[in-house]
């Protein structure tokens, strides 16, 4: 109960400023994204090399931040992030260089997707819609997994996740995608919104499993102890980052077709 109360209090404190930054947009949203880049770089270094504020983490964080500023020139931004990843890799312990380099893109690509999504004409509603889908996925997966149980989804990575939880998360995500899409005035059909919601639920759970896999490889329970009752920042946004990247790709892929939400 104490853990649940601590998690609830932490969420109640953190959610309002995040939602406010999304709602009001520039410059608050960009500031939030830049802050997230620094925190993610710090936690990634902590996971991979068990050190804090070393050259690898600083290189990853600075590269991601500069890359975000250069986002209007995407090739240059990717080159900067790639350079930062190379520096971080060379300065990391020998056995972890590949994972350290991967962190540059693991940090940058989802955050860049968030910036792309929020800058869209319907960006305010679109980003909140994404948050609601991922939250619904977590709740639906938890309820279905707890009440139904059944075969494990990936027992060697995350022993508590079940196939029933995956389906429950997909159903909840599809339902909230349709409801929230209607509330935000999206004109896409309910079928399209529900399908996107269900697919994003799968992507979000895949993102969760990926971060769990990295933690298992590093022997860590959490990415840090930054958020009381929750663990680290990466622990809380792993699914959200994956879903943001997927939705950002969908947005870019359909621009020429004049995607209408």
Residue 41 has pLDDT above 70, yes or no: yes
What's the CA gap between 210 and 37, in Å, rounded?
18
CB atoms within 10 A of CB 143: 15
Q: What is the pLDDT of residues 48-78, one digit of tens each?
A: 999 888 999 999 999 999 999 999 999 999 9
pLDDT at 2: 61
Confidence of residue 259 (pLDDT cuts 50, 70, 90): low
Poorest-pLDDT segment among 11-15, 76-80, 91-95, 253-257: 253-257
What integer best gives the mean pLDDT of the chain?
92
Question: 158 is written with which tokens?
Answer: 């995350």
Ordered by start, the domain boundaries in the chain are 1-119, 120-261
Q: Please report the DSSP string for 12-34 in residue order.
A: HHHHHHHHHHHHH-TTHHHHHHH
pLDDT at 4: 63
Q: Report the percentage of the chain scoring pLDDT > 90.
A: 78
Residue 8 has pLDDT above 90, yes or no: no
Residue written as tokens 């959610």?
Answer: 15
Taking residues 83-100, report their average pLDDT. 95
Poorest-pLDDT segment among 51-55, 192-196, 243-247: 51-55
What's the CA gap between 234 and 35, in Å, rounded?
13
Give the angle subtended at the CA of 194 by the CAs of 193 and 195, to the nearest 5°: 90
Question: Please, are residues 215 and 179 in contact by the beta-carbon 8 Å criterion?
Answer: no
Which residue from 15, 40, 249 is spatially nearest to 135, judged by alpha carbons? 15
Residue 257 has pLDDT above 70, yes or no: no
Q: What is the pLDDT of residues 127-170, one digit of tens each?
A: 999 999 999 999 999 999 989 988 999 998 988 899 999 999 99
Q: Decide which of 4 and 209 is more confident.
A: 209
Q: What is the pLDDT of residues 170-186, one digit of tens each?
A: 999 999 999 999 999 99
pLDDT at 261: 63
What's the CA gap between 84 and 93, in Å, rounded?
16
Residue 1 has pLDDT above 60, yes or no: no
pTM: 0.93
């Amino acid at each position: 109960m104490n853990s649940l109360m601590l998690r609830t209090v932490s969420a109640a404190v953190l959610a309002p400023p995040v939602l406010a930054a999304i709602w009001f947009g520039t410059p608050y949203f960009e500031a939030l994204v830049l802050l997230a880049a620094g925190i993610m770089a710090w936690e990634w270094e902590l996971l991979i090399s068990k050190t804090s504020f070393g050259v690898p983490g600083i290189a990853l964080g600075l590269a991601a931040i500069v890359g975000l500023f250069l986002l209007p020139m995407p090739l240059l931004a990717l080159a900067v992030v790639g350079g930062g990843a190379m520096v971080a890799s060379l300065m990391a312990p020998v056995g972890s260089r590949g994972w350290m380099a991967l962190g540059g893109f693991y940090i940058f690509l989802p955050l860049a997707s968030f910036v792309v999504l929020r800058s869209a004409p319907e960006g305010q509603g679109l980003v909140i819609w994404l948050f609601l889908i991922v939250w619904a996925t977590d709740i639906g997966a938890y309820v279905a997994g707890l009440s139904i149980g059944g075969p494990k989804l990936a027992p060697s990575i995350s022993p508590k996740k079940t196939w029933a939880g995956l389906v429950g998360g997909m159903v909840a995500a599809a339902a909230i995608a349709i409801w929230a899409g209607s509330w935000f005035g999206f004109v896409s059909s309910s079928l399209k919104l529900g399908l996107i919601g269900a697919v994003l639920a799968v992507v979000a759970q895949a993102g969760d499993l990926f971060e769990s896999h990295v933690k298992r490889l590093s022997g860590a329970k959490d990415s840090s102890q930054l958020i009381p009752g929750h663990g680290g920042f990466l622990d809380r946004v792993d699914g959200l980052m994956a879903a943001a990247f997927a939705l950002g790709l969908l947005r870019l892929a359909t621009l020429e077709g004049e995607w209408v939400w």
